[in-house]
Amino acid sequence: MAKSILALCRHAPYGNALAREGLEAILACAAMDQVPSVLFSGDGVYQLLEQDPVAINEKSLRRNLQALPMFGIEHIHVCRKSADARGIAADTLQLAGAEIVLLADTGPFIRGFDQVLSF
């Protein structure tokens, strides 16, 4: 049986390529019918903020994020401690077509998967 996959996204957007390449890998997995669960933790929660990177000549990563529900990823898991530590109010986190699931304790959640891809 195919393994269950978690994508763990821990890095802020734009500063380095991991956020972008993580989202691309997630979309690729989903397109291959290996739909991963997704958890934003640490600086990764910054990926959920509104973005306007025209002034730095980048594409918005929010676009890639917004594509997730279309690929069958309808729950976006977010580490609550990480959001709190960064002053991000849980109710400001929104993604059209997806449900934001705040996790008080990510450890037991992670344990439930066979494989974890880290980005």
Partner 1 sequence: MTLHIINQSPLGGSALQDCLGSFVEGDALLLIEDAVYAAASPAEHKLPQGQVFALAADAQARGVTLAQAVTGIDETAWVDLCVAHTPIVSWFR
Partner 2 sequence: MQFTLVVYGAPHSSEGAATALRFARAALATGHSIYRVFFYADGVHNGSALAAPPQDEQDLLGQWQSLQQSHALDLTVCIAAAQRRGLLSESEANRLEKPSANLADGFTLAGLGQLAEAAAVSDRLISFGG
The binding site for partner 2 (CB under 8 A) comprises 2-3, 5, 14-18, 21, 24-25, 28-29, 31-32, 34, 56-59, 115-118
| By CB under 8 A, residue 64 contacts partner 1 | no
Token code pair at residue 97: 């077509």
Contacted by 76, from partner 1, partner 2, none: CB < 5 to 8 Å by type: none
Is 58 a residue that touches partner 1 (CB under 8 A)?
A: yes
Could you tell me the smallest distance in angstroms from the CB atom of residue 54 to partner 2?
11
Residue 69 parent element (H or E): none
Instruction: Give the integer Cα–Cα distance in Å for 112 and 50.
Output: 30
Q: How far apart are CA 117 and CA 104, in angstroms?
A: 21
Q: Considering the rule CB under 8 A, would residue 114 count as an interface residue with partner 1? A: yes
Residue 43 sits in the site that holds partner 1 (CB under 8 A): yes
Instruction: Dump the DSSP string for 77-97.
Output: EEEHHHHHHTT--GGG---TT
Q: Which residues, in sequence order, are CB contacts of 7 under 8 Å at separation 6+?
A: 22, 25, 26, 29, 36, 37, 38, 39, 116, 117, 119
2 binds, among partner 1, partner 2, none (CB under 5 to 8 A by kind): partner 2
Give me the residues that bind partner 1 (CB under 8 A), please: 6, 8, 10-16, 18, 41-43, 46, 49-56, 58, 79, 81-82, 85-87, 106-108, 110-111, 113-116, 118
